[in-house]
A and B are shown apart, each in its own frame.
Chain A
Amino acid sequence: MTFNGWMQIALFCAIVLALARPLGGFLTRVYAGERTFLHPVLAPVERGFYLLAGVRCEAEQGWRSYAVAMLAFNLLGFLLVYGALRLQGALPLNPQGFAGVTPDLALNTAVSFVTNTNWQSYGGEATMSYGSQMWALTVQNFLSAATGMALAVALIRGFARRSAKEIGNFWTDLTRSILYVLLPLCVVLALVYVAMGVPQTLQPYVTAKTLEGADQTIALGPVASQLAIKMLGTNGGGFFNANSAHPFENPSALANLVQMVSIFAVGAALTNVFGRMVGDERQGWAILGAMGALFLAGVAMVYWAEAGANPIHAALGLDPAGGNMEGKEVRFGIALSALFAVITTAASCGAVIAMHDSFSAIGGMIPMVNMQLGEVIVGGVGAGLYGVLLFAIVAVFVAGLMVGRTPEYVGKKIEGREVKLTMLALLCSPAATLLALGVASVSPLGLAGLQESGPHGFSEMLYATTSAAANNGSAFAGLTANSPFWNVLLAAGMMIGRFALIVPMLAVAGSLAAKGKVPPSAGTFPTYGTLFVGLLGGVILIVGGLTYFPALTLGPVADAFATAAGTTY
C-alpha cells in the first residue's frame, strides 16, 4: 500500500461527499414536483408524456397500486428486451451481422437488465449488435435505475408522511427520474467520455495492420452513450466483454475517476434526500456515515490483500513489490483496482476494471461480502437506500428490545407488521443465493461451467449466485455461465432478489405512511448519533454477514489457506 494510493482513495471519497448535499437538494425538488433550472426545457416534455400515457400526475397511488404499476412496467420491459434480442438478426444497426440471441441467453439477459443486475453470460462485442446495445440494453439501464429511484422515494414518503393512504405516483416518479436526473447527466457524461477517448460510432469494426504485420480487428460501437448510464444507473453491464477494464470503455485514470464518482453519486445523494424529506438532514448523514465506515473497511482489506504478492507466484521469480497484477490494468494499478472492486460491489453496479476472479482469495472475498450484506453500502441507485432503511428498521427494533420500548424511527412507531415484512424482504436474497448455490453444487450441469477446481471453483459458483440474487452483475468470470442451466438458474435468482424484496418493502412503506408521527420524547433513541451509526453497521454485518459465513469458509477462506500453503489445483 502506498501513500499515493490512499490519497487517490481519499480524493474519491471527498468528491462523493461534496456532491451528496447539492445533488440531494436537487433530487428532493424533482420528486416534490417543484421547479428546477431544467423545467423551462423539460417540463413541456414531461407534460406531453403524461398526456400520451393517460397519467394524471396529481393522482397518487397506495402501495398496492404503486407495486402493480411497477411490476406491469417491468414485465413489458422484459418482453421488449427478450423480443429485441431474439429478433436481433432481422433488426437494423447490425454491421457485424450477429444472429438472434438464443432463448436461454435472451431470457437471462432480459431479466438481468430489467432487474438492474446486468449479469452478462455473453461477451458484448461478439454477441450484441449496435442496435441491441441501444434499444434493448441502454433503455433498460435507464428504466431499471429509474425504477429503483422511484421505489426509494416511495419508501421515504412512507416515513415522511403522516396518516396518509398514498405513497406517490409510480409513473411520475419514474418519468422525473429519467427526464430531470439520469438523461441530462448522461448527455454531459457521454460527451465527457468521448473527449477522453471512449468511442461513439456506428461504423463497423476496423481492421488494423500492426507494426509486426498482423491483422488486428478492433471492435467499436456507440460505447460512450451506454457507458454514461451504465455507471450513473449502477447497472454495470459492459459494452465489451472486459467491461471497464477495456481501454475503450475506460481509457484513463481520469475517465476512471469520473466513472467511480458516477456510481456513488446518486446513491449517496439519496441519503440526503431521505434526511430532507423526513425533516432532519442528520438522519441522512447518519446513514451515510454507517455506509462510509463499512466502505472504508472494505477498501482497506482489498487494497491490503491485492498489494501483497501471491506467494505461489513470488516463488517463481515474479517481483512481489508489484502486488497481484493478474487481471489488472497498468494504468489503474493496485490501489484503483481495489477501490473500484469495492465500489462496484458496495453499490449494485457490477462493472469491473479488473478481473475479480484473479484477485487474491481475501481480495475476492470482500466484494462477495459487500453483495451479501445486501448492497446497502451506498448501494444501487434507490435500491441501496431502500435496502439500508430496512436494516435501519431492524436496528431500531434491536435497540427497542434491549431497552424494552416500542421502537421508533424518524417519528414512526415500528411495530410487528413492519418488522415481519422487513425480515421477509431481507431474507429473500440470502435464500435465493444459497438455494441456487446448493443446486449448482450438486448438479453436473452446474459444475460443468467451472474453470477452477478446488475451493476457488466453489468461490466461482458462490460469487455467481450471490451476484445474481444481489442484482450486482459482476462475476468471477472464469465460470462459463452461458449454458441453459446457469442462464435459467441465475435468471431466477435475479428475479427473486429484485422483486421478492421490493413488494414487501412497498408494503412497509404503505404501512408506515398510514401511521401518525410520534413526537420525540426523553425515551426516544436518537437515530442521528454515532451510537446509531455503530448499531446500524453492526446489524448489517451480523444479519447480512453471518448468513453466509459457512459458504465463505468453504470458498475464499479455504482458498486463502491454500494460497498460503502454496497449494495449486
Chain B
Amino acid sequence: MLIHFRPALILLLLFTIVTGVVYPLAITGVAQVALPAQANGSMIEQDGRIVGSSLIGQSFASPRYFHGRPSAAGQNGYDASSSSGSNLGPTSKALAERIKSDVEKAKAENGLSGPVPADLVTASGSGLDPGVSPASAHAQISRVARERSLPEADVRALVDHSIQPRLLGLIGEPRVNVLALNMALDAMK
C-alpha cells in the first residue's frame, strides 16, 4: 500500500492541476476570445439592457404575447438559477390536476374546441424550454392578433416565418423560439 502512496498522491495532484485548472481555464480563455457571445450565454440586448438569453425560455403571462410551456423551475417558473422539471409521475394526481387546469385555461383564452397540443400543457425537463411546437404557436395566433388588433394573417405569417425546422430536415424537432417570436411581434407595430 505504501509504495503506491507516492505515485497516487503525485499523479492526483498533477491531474488535478491539468484537468481541473489548466484545462477549464484554457477553454475559457479560447472561448472568451473566439466565441464571446456563446461563451457568455447568448444574451440578447435591447436598448442597452439584457432582456434574456436566446437559449433560455422566460415567463409570458400577458395575452398580448405568445406563451411558452408550463415551467417547474423555481417558485414561479422559468427561474434560470433553479432549473428543474416537475418530476411528477404518470399516475400522479397532482400532475393530472395541473394538466386539467392548464387545458381549461388554454381552451378558454385561445377559444380552442379540440384537444390542446401536448407541449403547451406539459412542463419541460429543464423548466427553461425556449421553444414550443409549431402547433402550440398556431393555437395562440387568433388570441394574440385580437389583443394586438393586428390582422390574423400577418401574425400567422410571422409565426410561420419563425418556425425553426429540423437540421438538414432530419435532426431534432421543428419548434418556435417564444422569446424571439414575441420580440418580432413587438417590433411589428
Contacts and interface: CB of A to CB of B under 8 A. Distances in A.
B116 A319 contact: yes
A68 B62 CA distance: 63
Contacts of B186: 211
Interface stretch (A104-112, A439-447, A452-460): A452-460
B188 interface: no
Nearest to B43: A206
Contact of B78 (A4, A216, A562): A216
Interface string B97-123: 001100110010000001111110111
A408 interface: no
Contacts of B121: 318
B104 to A, nearest CB: 8
A95 to B, nearest CB: 12
Interface string A203-217: 101111111101011
Contacts of A459: 89
B28 A218 contact: no
A226 B24 contact: yes
A325 B182 CA distance: 23
B12 interface: yes
A88 to B, nearest CB: 14
A187 interface: yes
A94 interface: no
Q: Give the residue among B69, B100, B118, B132 with the most A Cβ atoms within 10 A.
A: B118
A331 interface: yes
B157 interface: no
Interface residues of A, number: 129
A325 B136 CA distance: 13
A331 B7 contact: no
A125 B117 contact: no
Interface string A39-75: 0000000000100111100000000010011001101
A394 B189 CA distance: 72
Given A126-B82, A139-B19, A240-B83, A11 B10 contact: no
B6 to A, nearest CB: 5
B41 A214 contact: no
Nearest to B5: A72
B133 interface: yes
A253 B28 contact: no
A48 B50 CA distance: 47
B93 interface: yes
Given A68-B4, A187-B23, A125 B93 contact: no
Given A191-B27, A200-B28, 16 more contacts: A65-B4, A73-B7, A76-B8, A80-B12, A125-B81, A174-B11, A186-B23, A190-B31, A211-B182, A224-B31, A253-B171, A313-B96, A326-B88, A328-B124, A352-B125, A569-B93
Interface of A: 4, 7-8, 11, 49, 52-55, 65, 68-69, 72-73, 75-77, 80, 123, 125-126, 134-136, 138-139, 142-143, 171, 174-175, 178, 183, 186-187, 190-191, 194-203, 205-212, 214, 216-220, 222, 224-226, 229, 240-242, 245-248, 251-254, 256-257, 309-310, 312-314, 316-333, 336, 352-355, 357-361, 364, 451-452, 454-456, 459-460, 476-478, 559, 562-563, 567-569
17 contacts: A135-B16, A183-B18, A194-B27, A208-B43, A208-B53, A209-B50, A246-B128, A247-B129, A252-B172, A253-B173, A320-B115, A323-B118, A330-B175, A336-B173, A358-B90, A360-B90, A559-B90
Interface of B: 1, 4-12, 14-16, 18-21, 23-24, 26-28, 30-32, 34-35, 38-43, 49-53, 55-62, 65, 69, 73, 78-93, 95-96, 99-100, 103-104, 107, 114-119, 121-133, 135, 166-167, 170-173, 175, 179, 182-183, 186
